[in-house]
Structures are given as C-alpha cells and as structure tokens.
Amino acid sequence: MSKSDIASFSLFLATQAQIIESYRRTQLSWSRGMGEDEYIQHNQHISNTFECARDGKLVVWVLAPRDDPETLDFKCSCETFRRSGLVAGKGSDIVEEVTCYGIASVFTPPQHRGRGYARHMMSLLHWVIASDEYLQSLRFPEHWGEPPIRVPSFNNARFSALYSDVGSFYEKCSPAENESGWIIRDPKKTIWNVQILLDRLGHTTEDIPSEWLNLDNVNTVWEGDIARIREEFASSPQKPVFSFLPTGGVENFQRMRLESIWRKESVREWGFVLAGSELDFTTWAVELRESKPRILILTRLRAGESSLPTLLYKSAVTAGKHDISQIEVWNLNENLESQAESLGGVTSVRGNHLPAFKWYGKEKAESVTWAHNEK
C-alpha cells in the first residue's frame, strides 16, 4: 500500500455480517473437513458458549475503508480473546492480576495478499487493545491518518500474544516508529514416543497412586496452581514476568475446540494428579488428525525430577488407549531437559505456532520473562 492508501483504511469492530463473512473466508483453510454451514455454526457455538469467548471476550476486527466500514469486501480480519493474566514488576514482590489478550485467526483472502493489509491491520490492533498508559508514550504515525475509533472496554492490555505460522512477520507489525510488534519467545517442543515410554517406565511407575482428571474435575487443579504462580512471581529474580491465567476456559479451550473429534473416540481422561500432592500434575489435549501423527499435548506439566517419569507414564497410558503415538510439551522446564532426554524425549525448535508476545510496559521486551509459555 502507498501512504495515501494506508490513510484510507482503519480497523473496525466487525458487524455480524462481517463476522459471518470472515468465517466463510477461512472455511477452506481451517474447517478440518466441515462444510461451510457447519463451520459457521461451529464458530458461532464457540463464540456464544465457550467460557473463554462468550460475553464479549471474543471479538472480530476487520481492516476496511474509512468511508465504508461495514463493507463485506474488507481486506483482512483477526480475532482477540480478552483474558486475565498475572504480572510482577522489576524490584517488586507485588503480583497484579491484569487484562491481556490472545490474538488469533489472522486471515487475508488470496486476492488481497501481498499488499501490506495484514501488517497494517495488526499494527493498528495495538491502538485498540493496549493500555492508555502505554499508548500515551507513542506518537500515532501521521501517514496512517486518524487512530482507530476507541471501543468501550478495550485499551486496557498489559500484554498480548499470538502464535505465528509466518515466522517473524508479526514483529514488524509495530504501533509506531522505533517500536516492535510481537516478539517470538522460546518456540521449543519436546516429543516422546508413547511406546518407548510404556516399555521403559511401566515396571517402575505402574503402581504409583494417582487421581485421574476428567471433564468434571480437570479445572479443580487451577486454583492451587494460580496460588503457586503468584508465589513464584513474588520471589522470581526474572522480572518483569507475566503469564496468562489458565482459568476462565483458557486451558479448557485447547480440548473443547476439538470435542466433535475426540467424542467419537470416547476420550475421558484429561490429566491426573499424583495422590497426596497438589504440586505434581499434568493436563492435556489431543490432536487426532488422520493425516498427521496423533498427539497428546501436555497443556501443563507440573513436575520435579522424581515425579516426571510417573507423569509421563500415566500420560502414555491414556495415549496408548487411543492409538496416539506421540506426547508433546512446549517449553519444558530447563531443569528437566536432561532427564527428559534420558526418557527418550527429543527437544527441538518448532517451525510453526511460534509463541510471540507484545509487552505494553516501559521495559524492553528483551528483559521480560514469559512464564508458563505452554500450549
């Protein structure tokens, strides 16, 4: 886009008709085989009923001409999920609960690609979600025209994050000169072969008591875990530090978005807690795609060196029941990496779903720690 073209577009809250159009556009790429009508209904079901999305937490944004903001020929779209997070500042033992955003479904239709529309949309997004305190320190680029219209209940984020499938593209989507966009941080994964875990660990961990977590009780682990995160942040030497909270349906979204698939296979176990311990537990979701390896993805792994073998073995037991060949975790604690390797784990850098964050604070992003940067 030329400078004159940029000024003619802005970011707008999508109308209901634009939301439906955004679903139509993404159906072929993201529907996992669903027809258009089914896919639209699926997305409406998520928006209206999922705890992490309903009550206005999920919002669709479009880049559209300033003189025709409700057009169905908008250039691109994205979604934001309002969430809660924890932050501890440098030199302080105070842990704050803050508003933050997860960003998803960035999509430009083929006929509009290669013209800078997505980059401009994402650059403008900072101006509708970031805190006023942060934005007041910036100068809105004059050649962009006027800032986007303020939307009630926004402009309150301390940080935001997304998962990039286009490398470092989002780092270039900055709110102003001399600022960065979303910075990739720790895109690591560790994978274990399920059968190897069962063969190596069954004779040593099989009889260790534990409590299986199902859909009814899997969320009971989070209250204790959040208290633990607060304690960790208060005493952490790596500040500023932030984390999304797993509550409010955030962690649960990873499994429930694929419910129509795993229900067919009667998956009933979604984690477990070691008996007598609230500190050692794991939760998971499953990826059961026909065209790819079936994977059990650990959404939280609270383990020490003594408990890791049991946690992995119990996870492998569930995986084996459903013909799942791999167990995967993102950003395994560095203190566990050598032990994970001895148990057959292979750690590598992911090529997609790269975690990237934008810090809306005074500190440089390089000095900020993203804790519990998991699936």
pLDDT in tens, 321-370: 999 999 999 999 999 999 999 999 999 999 999 999 999 998 999 999 99
Query: Distance between the two ends of the chain, CA-based, in angstroms?
Result: 35
Average pLDDT, integer, range 293-298: 96
Query: pLDDT tens across 168-177, in order?
Result: 999 999 999 9
Residues 205 and 121 in one domain: no
| pLDDT recorded at residue 206 | 60
User: Mutual orientation of helices 194-205 and 308-321 as an angle, nearest 10°?
Assistant: 120
Whether 130 and 229 map to the same domain: the answer is no
At residue 32, the pLDDT reads 86
- Same domain? 364 vs 315: no
Q: What is the pLDDT at residue 290?
A: 77
Kindly state whether residues 166 and 239 are assigned to the same domain.
Answer: no
Per-position b or e across 297-308, b if 16+ CB within 10 A of its CB:
bbbbbbbeeebb
Could you tell me the pLDDT band of residue 203, with boundaries at 50, 70 and 90? confident
| pLDDT tens-digit map of 268-279 | 999 999 987 768
- Categorize the per-residue pLDDT at 317 as very low, low, confident or very high, splitting at 50, 70 and 90: very high
Q: Is 155 found in the same domain as 227? A: no
What mean pLDDT value characterizes the chain? Answer: 94
| Overall number of domains in the chain | 2
- The answer on 169 and 131 residing in a single domain is yes
For residue 2, the model assigns a pLDDT of: 65
Q: What is the mean pLDDT of residues 158-186?
A: 97
Residues 95 and 114 in one domain: yes
* pLDDT at 68 > cutoff 70: yes
Residue 375, domain member (yes or no): no
63 touches 10 (CB < 8 A):
yes
HEC string of the chain equals: CCHHHHHCEEEEECCHHHHHHHHHHHHHHHCCCCCHHHHHHHHHHHHHHCCCCCCCCEEEEEEEECCCCCCCCCCEEEEEEEEEEEEECCCCCCEEEEEEEEEEEEECCHHHCCCCHHHHHHHHHHHHHECHHHHCCCCCCHHHCCCCCCCCCCCCECEEEEEECCCCHHHHCCCCCCCCCCEECCCEEEEEEHHHHHHHHHHHHCCCCEEEECCCCHHHHHHHHHHHHHHHHHHCCCCCEEEECCCCCHHHHHHHCCHHHHHHHCCCCCEEEECCCCCCEEEEEEECCCCCCCEEEEEEEECCCCCHHHHHHHHHHHHHHCCCCEEEEECCCHHHHHHHHHCCCEEEECCCCEEEEEECCCCCHHHCEECCCCC
- Residue 240 and residue 133 share a domain: no
pLDDT for position 109: 97
Give yes or no for a cis peptide into 355 (omega within 30° of 0).
no
Residue 96 has pLDDT above 70, yes or no: yes
Looking at residue 3, its pLDDT comes to 64
Q: Do residues 276 and 292 both lie within one domain?
A: yes
Angle between helices 16-30 and 36-49 (to 10 degrees): 120
Q: What band does 205 get if pLDDT is binned at 50, 70 and 90?
A: low
Residues 200 and 137 in one domain: no
- Give me the mean pLDDT over the 147-155 stretch: 95
With a cut of 70, say whether residue 180 has pLDDT above it.
yes
pLDDT above 70: percentage of residues in the chain: 97
145 domain-assigned: yes
Q: Do residue 39 and residue 70 come from a single domain?
A: yes
Residue 236: give its domain's CATH number. 3.40.630.30
Lowest-confidence region among 82-86, 90-94, 156-160, 252-256: 90-94
Q: What is the mean pLDDT of residues 281-291?
A: 90
Instruction: Identify the domain containing residue 280 by its residue range.
Output: 188-349
Buried b (16+ CB within 10 A) or exposed e, 149-183: eeeeebbbbbbbbbbbeeeebbbebbbeeeebbbb
Q: Are residues 180 and 193 in the same domain?
A: no
Provide the pLDDT for residue 50.
97
